[in-house]
Amino acid sequence: MPVPTSVHLILTPREREIFESVLRGETTRQISVALGLRYQTVKNYLTTIYDKLGVANRIALCAKFSQTVAGSSLEPAPARADAVTTK
């Protein structure tokens, strides 16, 4: 799945809430308590978010969207030119 140009076009409002919580470093348990959802429900949302955004897990999600913060543009982080170096 190609990287979406805007998370807002891909995710539902609830999925965006969870997405932003993950980017803030909240755990699944913290998200479930804050949103009044069951732990398993949040896990289900996360699986859907990963599928929609083409990532495998929370780490990949954070790496791909690390430049985003709540209330700002939710665009993928630009690739760094110096990210891969070979010797």
pLDDT one-digit tens code per residue, 33-81: 999 999 999 999 999 999 999 999 999 999 988 765 444 545 554 555 5
Domains of the chain: 7-64 (1.10.10.10)
CA distance 63 to 33: 25
Task: Name 27's Cβ contacts closer than 8 Å, sequence gap at least 6.
Answer: none
pTM above 0.75, yes or no: no
What is the number of alpha carbons within 13 Å of residue 48 lying toward its C-beta? 14
